[in-house]
Structure 1
Amino acid sequence: MNISAALLRPRLPLRTRLLSTSASRRYLTNNGFFRVSDEVREAIHSRKPVVALETTIYTHGFPYPENVALASLLESVVRVNGGVPATIGILDGVARVGLDPEELIRLTESAGKSTTLKLSRRDLGYVCGLRLAGKKFNGGTTIAGTMILAHLAGIKVFGTGGLGGVHRGGEHTLDVSADLTELGRTPVAVISSGCKSFLDIPRTLEYLETEGVGVGTFADGRTGNVDFPAFWSRESGVKSPTTISDEMEAAAIIYAQEALQIQSGLHFANPCPSDKAIPKAAMDMVINEAVRQADAQGITGKDNTPFILHKIKELTKGSSVPANRALIESNVRRATIVARELSVLQAQQENAQSQGIASAFIPPTSSISPSPEEEIFQSMSTPYSQSTTTVLQQRRSDLVVAGALAVDFSCDYSPFLDATNSTTPSLQTSNPARIHQSLGGVGHNIAKAAHLLGSSVRLCSAAGDDFTGRAALSQLENDGMQTDGIVILPTPHRTAQYVAVNDVNKDLMLAMADMSILESLDPSTIQSTYFPTPTEAPPKCVIVDGNWPSEALHVWFRHAKSLSAQTIFEPVSTAKATRIFSSSEPPSTFPQHIIDIATPNTYELKAMHARCADLELFSDPAWFKIVDALGISPSGLRVPLAATIGSDLVDAGIPQQSIQLLPFIPAILTKLGPKGVLLVKLLQADDPALSLAKEAQYVLARNSNGDGESNVGGLYVRLFPPEIVLGPGEVVSVNGIGDTFVAAMAVSLVRGRRMDEAIPFAQKAALHSLQSQESVSFKLVELRDSI
Structure 2
Amino acid sequence: MLGLRARLQCQSKWRLTSGLPSTRRFVSDNRYFKVFEEVRQALAEKRPVVALESTIYTHGFPYPQNIALASHLESVVRVNGGVPATIGVLDGVARVGLGPEEVISLAAAAGKKDTLKVSRRDLGFACGLTVDGKNYNGGTTVAGTMILAHLAGIRVFATGGLGGVHRGGELSMDISADLKELGRTPVAVVSSGCKSFLDIARTLEYLETEGVPVATFAEGRKGQIDFPAFWTRDSGLKSPMILQDEKAAAAVIHAQRALGLQTGFLFANPIPEAHSIPKAEMDRVIEEAIEEARQAGATGSANTPFILAKIKELTGSTSVTSNRALIESNVKRGTIVAKELMKLELHGDRDAEARPKDDTSSVIIGPGATNYTSSGVWKGIPTNTEYGASDTTSNDALPVKETKASIFVAGALAVDYSCDFSPLPGSYAKAPTLETSNPAKISQSLGGVAHNVARAASLAGGNVRLCSAVGDDLAGKAALEALAMEGLDKTGIKTRSTESGARTAQYIAINDVQKDLVMAVADMSILNDQSNDSVTAEDETIPDVFHTFWLPQLQQSLPSNLVLDANWSPTMLSHWLKASSSVSSHVSFEPVSTAKASSVFKLPPSTPLSVFPNNQLHLMTPNYLELSAMHATARDRGFFERDDWWQVIDALGIPSSGARQQLALATSNALVDAGVPQQSIQLLPFVPSICTKLGAQGVLVTQLLRAGDERLTTGEYAPYILSRCNNETEETLGVGGVYMRLFPAAELVKEEQIVSVNGVGDTFLGTIVAGLAKRGRDARVEDLMDVAQRAAVMTLKSKEAVSPKLSTLRALL
Q: How does 1:415-454 map to 2 (within 5 A)?
A: 415=423, 419-420=427-428, 422=430, 424-454=431-461
Unaligned runs of 5+ residues in structure 2 are 1-46, 49-76, 89-96, 105-326, 348-353, 357-376, 380-399, 530-540
Show CA shifts across 1:583-627 (max 9, x none): 632321111221111111122111111111221211111111111
Deviation at 1:395, TM superposition (A): 3.8
Q: What amino acid is the match of 1:508?
A: L
2:471–2:502 CA contact under 8 A, matched in 1: yes
- Counterpart in 1 of 2:804? 778
Cα distance in 2 for residues equivalent to 1:429 and 1:365: 59
Are the counterparts in 2 of residues 9 and 363 from structure 1 also a CA contact under 8 Å?
no
Q: Which residue of 1 aligns with 2:685?
A: 663
Using the size of structure 1 for normalisation, the TM-score is 0.52
C-alpha separation between the residues in 1 aligned to 2:758 and 2:658?
38
Answering whether residue 771 of structure 2 is matched by residue 744 of structure 1, we say no
Within the alignment, does 1:603 sit opposite 2:641 as a pair?
Answer: no
User: Are the counterparts in 1 of residues 684 and 690 from structure 2 also a CA contact under 8 Å?
Assistant: yes
The structure showing larger relative contact order (alpha-carbon pairs under 8 Å, at least 6 residues apart) is: 2
- Separation (CA, whole Å) in 2 of partners of 1:638 and 1:535: 45
1:470 maps to 477
1:10 to 1:481, Cα distance in 2 relative to 1, 3 A: closer
Residue of structure 1 in register with 2:643 after alignment: 621
Alignment correspondent of 1:500 = 509
In the TM superposition, residue 427 of structure 1 has moved relative to its aligned partner by 4.6
State which of 694, 697, 722 in structure 1 corresponds to 2:716.
694
Mapped partners of 1:377, 1:503: distance in 2:
40
CA–CA separation in structure 2 for the residues paired with 1:622 and 1:535: 30
For 1:738 and 1:372, the matched residues in 2 are separated by 32
Q: Which amino acid aligns with 2:511?
A: N
Q: 1:499 to 1:533 in 2, by over 3 A?
A: closer
Task: Check if 1:577 corresponds to 2:597.
Answer: yes
Equivalents in 1 of 2:103, 2:441: separation in Å? Answer: 32
Give the Å deviation of 1:374.
Answer: 9.0
Q: How far apart in 1 are the matches of 2:562 and 2:487?
A: 20
Maintained 8 Å contact 1:8/1:364: no
> How far apart are the structure 2 equivalents of 1:514 and 1:690?
46
In the TM superposition, 1:296-695 aligns within 5 A as 363-366=331-334, 393=401, 395-415=403-423, 419-420=427-428, 422=430, 424-491=431-498, 492-520=501-529, 521-523=541-543, 525-532=545-552, 536-582=556-602, 584-585=604-605, 586-695=608-717
Distance in 2 between residues matched to 1:535 and 1:400, nearest whole Å: 11
Matched AA of 1:723: A
Q: Which residue of 2 aligns with 1:723?
A: 746
CA distance in 2, matches of 1:660, 1:545: 22
Shift of residue 494, structure 1, vs aligned partner = 0.8
Q: What is the alpha-carbon distance in structure 1 between the residues aligned to residue 714 and residue 793 of structure 2?
A: 30
Q: CA deviation at 1:762?
A: 1.0
Decide whether the 8 Å contact of 1:731 with 1:771 is kept in 2: yes
Q: Is the Cα contact below 8 Å between 2:78 and 2:84 reproduced in 1?
A: no
1:123-173, Cα deviation, whole Å (9 max, x unpaired): xxxxxxxxxxxxxxxxxxxxxxxxxxxxxxxxxxxxxxxxxxxxxxxxxxx
> Gapped runs of 5+ residues in structure 1?
24-358, 380-385
Contact 2:80/2:336 (<8 A) preserved: no
Report the alpha carbon displacement of residue 6 of structure 1 after superposing the two structures with TM: 6.7
One-letter code of the match for 2:495? I
Which digits, 9 at most, give the CA deviation of each residue in 1:40-76, with x for residues without a partner? xxxxxxxxxxxxxxxxxxxxxxxxxxxxxxxxxxxxx
Q: Following TM superposition, by how much is the alpha carbon of 1:742 offset from its aligned partner in structure 2, in angstroms?
A: 0.6
Q: Write the mapping of 1:165-204 to structure 2, written as runs, cut at 5 A.
A: none
Deviation at 1:537, TM superposition (A): 3.6
Q: Which amino acid aligns with 2:644?
A: A
User: Which secondary structure does the structure 1 equivalent of 2:564 belong to?
Assistant: strand
- Deviation string, structure 1 residues 3-62 (Cα, Å, up to 9, x no partner): 899755584968996446899xxxxxxxxxxxxxxxxxxxxxxxxxxxxxxxxxxxxxxx
SS in 2 for 1:588: coil
Normalising by structure 2, report the TM-score.
0.50
The equivalent of 2:788 in structure 1 is 762
Q: 1:406·1:498 contact (CA, 8 Å) conserved in 2?
A: yes
Q: Assess if the C-alpha contact under 8 Å between 1:10 and 1:363 holds in 2.
A: no
Shift of 1:729: 0.2
Aligned twin of 1:310: none
Whether contact under 8 Å (1:376, 1:778) holds in the other structure is no
For the pair shown, the structure with the greater C-alpha radius of gyration is 2
State the one-letter code of the partner of 1:728: E
Contact 1:571–1:598 at 8 Å: present in 2 too? yes
- 1:659 is aligned with what amino acid? I
Cα separation, 2, equivalents of 1:535 and 1:526: 12
Aligned to 1:171: none
CA distance in 2, matches of 1:639, 1:686: 26
Hey, what's the Cα distance between the residues in 1 that align with 2:585 and 2:99?
Answer: 53
Structure 1 residue 426: Cα displacement: 4.8
Q: 1:13 to 1:653 in 2, by over 3 A?
A: closer
Give per-residue Cα distances to partners, 1:300-338, cap 9 Å, x unaligned: xxxxxxxxxxxxxxxxxxxxxxxxxxxxxxxxxxxxxxx
- Equivalent pair of 1:469/1:495 in contact (CA under 8 Å): yes
Name the CA shift for 1:377/1:476 in 2 (closer, same or farther; >3 Å). Answer: farther
Contact 1:583/1:615 (8 A) holds in 2: no
Once the two structures are superposed, what CA deviation does each residue of 1:757-776 show, in whole Å capped at 9, x if it has no partner? 11211111111111110101
> What's the CA shift for 1:410?
1.6
Q: Quote the Cα distance in structure 2 between the aligned partners of 1:709 and 1:675.
A: 37
In structure 2, what is the Cα distance between the partners aligned to 1:673 and 1:645? 14
Residue 651 (structure 1) shift: 1.5
The alignment status of 1:710 with 2:753, answered yes or no, reads no
Share of identical aligned residues, percent? 42
8 Å Cα contact 2:527/2:542 also seen in 1: no
CA contact (8 A) 1:11 1:363 kept: no
Alignment length, in residue pairs? 444
What RMSD in Å do the two structures reach over aligned CA positions?
A: 3.6
What does residue 60 of structure 2 align with?
A: none
Q: Which residue of 1 aligns with 2:252?
A: none
Specify the alignment match of 1:42 in structure 2.
none
Q: Does the CA contact (< 8 Å) of 1:698 and 1:717 recur in 2?
A: yes
- Per the TM alignment, residue 435 of structure 1 is displaced from its structure 2 partner at its CA by 2.3
Distance 1:568 1:415 in 2: 41
Distance verdict in 2 for CA 1:378–1:596, change over 3 Å: closer
Q: 1:667 to 1:13 in 2, by over 3 A?
A: closer
AA in 1 matched with 2:488: M
Conserved in 1, the CA contact under 8 Å of 2:564 and 2:588?
yes
CA distance in 1, matches of 2:484, 2:699: 33
Of stretches 767-776 and 5-14 in structure 1, the one that deviates more from structure 2 is: 5-14
Secondary structure of the corresponding residue to residue 680 of structure 1: strand
CA distance in 1, matches of 2:685, 2:673: 22
3-state DSSP of counterpart to 1:575? coil
* Change over 3 Å in CA distance of 1:435–1:561 after alignment to 2: same
